Amino acid sequence: MIEIFKSGGIMMYPLLLASIIGLTIIIERLWNLRQKRILVPEIIAVLDKINEMENFSLVRSVCEKFAGPFSQIAMSCIDNRDLPQEELRILIEDEGRQQVRSLNRGLGIIETIAGIAPLMGLLGTVLGMIKVFDIIQTLGVGQARALSGGISEALITTAAGLMIGIPALIFYNYLSSRSESLILDIEKYTVLLLNKIVRLNHKTEAKTEINFRAK
């Protein structure tokens, strides 16, 4: 294996670096984009049970135990629940845009690796063919052993670039799809929380107005 790597020439080193970076980010994203890690079941459970204003303190205490974009958005909703409905919606949209960026972290690097790895392999191919033509010019076409080194370098770097780029592209598409799905789920539960806040605010205002008239 080491001999194959060495025979691939100088472009094998940036390809190796790209593969290590890509693999590290892919493993990290697979771990951190697990559904239960983002959409914490405990938070969803308490959101479903909200039926009065006093429940919001319980929801916030549960959110504080779990770091992540979903809990941060939920806490922002609860902390600003006294704002007018439209202002609260705009604030949460801004908070959501900030928080969901963490779900897409690293995906751009994987996409870049998927694009440049085959190109680096192609560059290695060009360098290998240049070496072949230099040997032909110097020694002629009769030196098969010398020619095979340049041809081997050309083929190995192409294969290495494709072996890195193809899996990187597959994982980029998969992780992007998973991230988008989680973002849509976060939006769904955030809208649910916003609707409950609005409904309970209206209910509280109605009770206050009734009590004021009764006096």
Give per-residue pLDDT as tens, 172-209. Answer: 999 999 999 999 999 898 888 888 888 887 776 656 55
- Give the percent of the chain with pLDDT over 90: 26
Q: Which of 83-92, 137-146, 155-164 has the lowest mean pLDDT?
A: 137-146
Share of the chain above pLDDT 70, in %: 84
Give the integer Cα–Cα distance in Å for 183 and 189.
10
- Gap between the Cα atoms of 3 and 123, Å rounded: 20
Say if CB 144 and CB 132 are below 8 A apart.
no
Instruction: Extract the tokens encoding 173.
Output: 């598409």
- Determine the Cα–Cα distance for residues 151 and 125; give it in Å rounded to an integer: 8
Residue 208: which domain range?
2-214
Supply the pLDDT for residue 3: 72
Would you call 162 exposed, middle or buried from its count of C-beta atoms within 10 A (0-12, 13-18, 19+)?
middle
Q: What is the pLDDT of residues 37-52, one digit of tens each?
A: 888 888 888 888 888 8
pLDDT tens digits, residue range 76-113?
A: 888 888 888 888 888 888 888 888 888 888 999 999 99
Q: Containing H/E element for 188?
A: helix 144-214
Domain count, the chain: 1
- Weakest-pLDDT range from 82-86, 155-159, 165-169, 203-207: 203-207
What is the pTM (predicted TM-score) of this model? 0.81
Q: What is the pLDDT of residue 115?
A: 94
Quick one: tokens of 175?
């992780």
